[in-house]
A and B are shown apart, each in its own frame.
Chain A
């Protein structure tokens, strides 16, 4: 332990701590821009300058280690002046108009300018040449607003293991972006939006679908339904001043109804459907491998996360046969809404507009894939992020906090607790195990409160094993089999897992992959700002949503049972195959 004094507060910090970490430990706030949680500090932005007694110059607190008996002043006049100047310099090169910027409410640069009392910008800087990159369905990049903090570089390269964004050029000419300063569609970006989630300013954002959604709602000829992903209910509240981890399911449904949607439905419903399809697919693959001795692709990977699908198509095509053929719950919802539901209400598929609210930007990409349509009609028409939904609610003048709790509509709104936990890393696997174990043995998954602890939480790659005992007759080939599963979240972790499997083979039967750190609750479309403490709060909110329900297993959902009885027939049946399953193809980087 080292002794350090910060603003005359004496404290002890572990060796190797930076001044910034020490200050946080003491509850003292130092502003930062380029610093990214759990990544090595790059010391690029200088907005964290502090005064260290005995040092000739001010020090960047994020990258300066504490030494024994160091005396630090974070709030002295020179420190404040220097930090203000850094922000003034950034603003002098910044080409943005706050009132019309998509970040005006949560922009960190704007907030810093305010906190530091920037009253005017005394420098006349050269502004970057504006270039708007709208080349992808998911994201928009605006170079003129980029402050070159490189957070996106660190997230894309190190956390996601993609490396689409790098500083190009040098000095003032530097542009943060893809190779040859081209647009994002020229590189193998998976559209996860983690860059957009971490960007402090309006330089990377989702491509908005708000105008199209308003237009559809206002068109009386169209029947517009909305689905909300499991992760929205644990995060949307943050946009309205609630603490992270506040569940707002009921208010969300009420708000959607007041926005004018004709049906307020739930992606959770098709998450339950996914479990039945995907669980059956897994058991079928296992039967083919163990009984029929056929060469079938195992381990099977989950397919709900579209960034992961893009990642596999670009970087790991050898695993494409291993990915479940199930469409994601978002796409299954669209397909069911435009067939089963359309028939029920007597409308043609083309008269129904499906809007999704997703924690994810890659879902925007997924929705426009040509495979994701039935007879030429896209399953899903428009995808909004959590942040976009919050904007629409504000635009409509709805006072979110005073809304009553309302339920979702039938017949696509009822869901089990197993569907809720799709939002968390490890959740799809746990939901699948709850159902698969019960199908095979006729008994409930024998774990405490139905939670498979080993695969929950923020560990990078997690695994669990479960021995099947007392299998029913038709599943007797699984008797005594130790079912091995793995879970990874964040594509950097996933890359490590896949490289390991490539080199050493796989002991696993089933692997869940989620693109974003923490799972969908940490998606690229979620409210800013997301760090591990926020992730953990959203994760526990989702688990309590699950635990608050009586029905906690997908196969118990009566409306899913009705859907099979009235329409689909059986899991993996012909209708399912046509509507709910898809295929993947290698894409050149």
Chain B
């Protein structure tokens, strides 16, 4: 089986262009300072923090909660309400398996299980090498081609569980999907 090695390191390189974690936290303090006293400032603060960190790690949430005088439970309540926010680092490739009615009856569930097995992660998780995240979708409007899987913006139709491994390999080889631009 092909190892899930990164084709090109996009994160975590040691060169000078990546800000250090300490620098990110300085930026976070600025974000909190900027939004703390604005009505409805929590959501834009979370959005900005997520674009700084790529996701919302627990220490970031705790700092934001403290800064806004809210409890951690309330802030995670907001974070988990909007699908835009993520508590886990997202992989380079976001795999969304449709479990809408048409896809479900035509084997979407089995396709999902095949992805779970191949990537060794559950729904909502990311592979340790941050290549893949796995999520479930609710109809991408392509029911005629069920079961459907979306990888970033590319639609894969009539996916068969047995071919999932091969699809993953093709993605890793760079041939099967457009890589999303990094969020600003």
With a cutoff of 8 Å between Cβ atoms, the chain B residues found around residue A163 in the complex are 70-71, 73-74
A167, closest chain B residue (CB): B77
Tell me, in angstroms, the Cα distance from A188 to B119 when the chains sit together. 36
B80 touches A165 (CB 8 A): no
Within the complex, what minimum Cβ distance (angstroms) separates A495 from chain B? 11
Are B87's CB and A157's CB within 8 A?
no
Taken residue by residue from 67 to 88, chain B's Cβ proximity to chain A (1 for < 8 Å, 0 otherwise) reads as 0001111111100111100010
Give residues 457-486 of A contacting B (CB, 8 Å): none
A216 within 8 Å of B by Cβ? Answer: no
- B107 to chain A minimum Cβ distance, whole angstroms, is 20
Q: Interface residue count for A (Cβ, 8 Å)? A: 17
- Chain A window 395-414, contacts with chain B (Cβ cutoff 8 Å), 1 for yes, 0 for no: 00000000000000000000
Distance in angstroms from B154 CB to nearest chain A CB is 26
In whole Å, how far is B61's beta carbon from the nearest beta carbon of chain A?
A: 8
Partner of A170 from B70, B71, B74, B81 at Cβ < 8 Å: B81
Chain B residue contacts of A157, Cβ below 8 A: 71, 74
Q: Which of A162, A168, A188, A589 contacts B76 (CB under 8 A)? A: A168
Does B80 contact A170, Cβ atoms closer than 8 Å?
A: yes
Tell me whether A508 is interfacial, beta carbon within 8 Å.
no
Q: Would A168 and B71 count as touching, CB distance under 8 A?
A: no
User: In whole angstroms, what is the CA distance A499 to B125 when docked?
Assistant: 41
> CA separation between A178 and B75, bound complex, in Å?
10
Question: B110 at interface (Cβ–Cβ under 8 A)?
Answer: no
Q: Which of A155-201 contact B (CB under 8 A)?
A: 157, 162-170, 177-180, 187-188
Q: Give the CA-CA distance A179 to B73 in the complex, in Å.
A: 4
Contact A188 B71 (CB under 8 A): yes
| Most chain B beta-carbon contacts within 10 A, residue among A162, A163, A166 | A166
The one of B72, B81, B82 in contact with A179, judged by C-beta atoms closer than 8 angstroms, is B72
Instruction: Report the minimal beta-carbon distance from A313 to chain B, rounded to whole angstroms.
Output: 16
Q: How far is the CA of A157 from the CA of B77 in the complex (A)?
A: 13
Roughly how many angstroms separate A162 CA and B74 CA in the complex, as a whole number?
Answer: 10
Cβ of B58 within 8 Å of any chain A Cβ, yes or no, is yes
Q: Which residue of the partner chain B has the closest CB to A156?
A: B73
Query: Are B73 and A178 in contact (CB-based, < 8 A)?
Result: yes
Residue of A169, A170, A187 near B73 (CB, 8 A) is: A187
Main secondary structure of the interface of B (DSSP, over half): helix
- Residues of A with C-beta under 8 A to B74: 157, 163, 166
Q: Are B77 and A164 in contact (CB under 8 A)?
A: no
CA distance A178 to B71 in the complex (A): 10
Asked if B87 and A179 make an inter-chain contact with CB atoms under 8 angstroms apart, the answer reads: no
How many angstroms from the CA of A157 to the CA of B75 in the assembled complex? 13
Query: Smallest CB–CB gap between B29 and chain A, Å?
Result: 19
B80 touches A168 (CB 8 A): yes
Tell me which residues across on chain B come within 8 A of A170, comparing CB atoms: 80-83
- CB-based contact B70/A180 at 8 Å: no
Q: How large, as a class, is the contact surface on chain B?
A: 10 to 19
Interface residue SS majority, chain A: loop
B58 touches A168 (CB 8 A): no
Residues on A with C-beta less than 8 A from B83 are: 170
| Complex contact A165–B81 (CB within 8 A) | no
Closest Cβ of chain B: how far from A368's Cβ, in Å? 24
B77 contacts across to A, CB distance below 8 A: 166-168, 179
CA distance A414 to B119 in the complex (A): 70
Q: How far is the CB of A222 from chain B (nearest CB, A)?
A: 41
- A164 and B71 within 8 A (CB): yes
User: In residues 513-532 of chain A, which contact B (Cβ within 8 Å)?
Assistant: none
Q: Do A187 and B72 touch across chains, with their CB atoms under 8 A apart?
A: yes
Chain A residue nearest in CB terms to B77: A166
Bound form: Cα–Cα A439–B26 in Å: 58
Q: A449 to B20: give the CA distance in the assembly, Å.
A: 70
- Assembly CA distance A187 to B72 (angstroms): 8
CA of A93 to CA of B59 in the docked complex: distance in angstroms?
34
A162 vs B72: C-alpha distance in the bound complex, in angstroms? 11
**Residue-wise interface mask of B (148-165) relative to A, using a CB-CB cutoff of 8 A (1 in contact, 0 not):** 000000000000000000
B58 touches which of A162, A167, A180, A188 (Cβ 8 Å): A180
Q: How far is the CA of A168 from the CA of B76 in the complex (A)?
A: 7
Contacts of A178 in B (CB 8 A): 72-73
Smallest beta-carbon distance B36→chain A, Å: 17
* B72 and A169 form a contact (CB under 8 A): no
Asked if A187 meets B80 with Cβ closer than 8 Å, knowing A180-B58, A180-B87, the reply is: no
* A180 partner residues in chain B, CB cutoff 8 A: 58, 72, 76, 87
Interface residues of B in 60-113 (CB under 8 A from A): 61, 70-77, 80-83, 87
- Quick one: closest A residue to B70, CB to CB? A163
Instruction: State in angstroms the CA–CA spacing of A179 and B60 once bound together.
Output: 13
Chain A's nearest CB lies how many Å from the CB of B170?
A: 32
Q: Taking the nearest CB of chain B, how far is it from the CB of A150, in angstroms? A: 11
By a beta-carbon cutoff of 8 Å, the part of chain A in contact with chain B is 157, 162-170, 177-180, 187-188, 589
Cross-chain pairs A/B with CB under 8 angstroms, 26 sampled? A157-B71, A162-B71, A163-B70, A163-B74, A164-B73, A165-B73, A166-B71, A166-B77, A168-B77, A169-B80, A169-B81, A170-B80, A170-B81, A170-B82, A170-B83, A177-B73, A178-B73, A179-B71, A179-B73, A179-B75, A179-B76, A180-B72, A180-B76, A187-B71, A188-B71, A589-B72
Beyond A165-B73, A170-B80, list 11 extra A-B contacts (CB 8 Å).
A163-B70, A163-B71, A163-B74, A166-B73, A167-B77, A168-B76, A179-B73, A179-B75, A179-B77, A180-B76, A187-B73
Q: Kindly list the 10 A-B residue pairs having the minimum CB-CB distance in the complex, ordered from nearest.
A: A166-B77, A163-B71, A179-B76, A179-B72, A179-B73, A166-B73, A169-B80, A170-B81, A168-B80, A166-B74
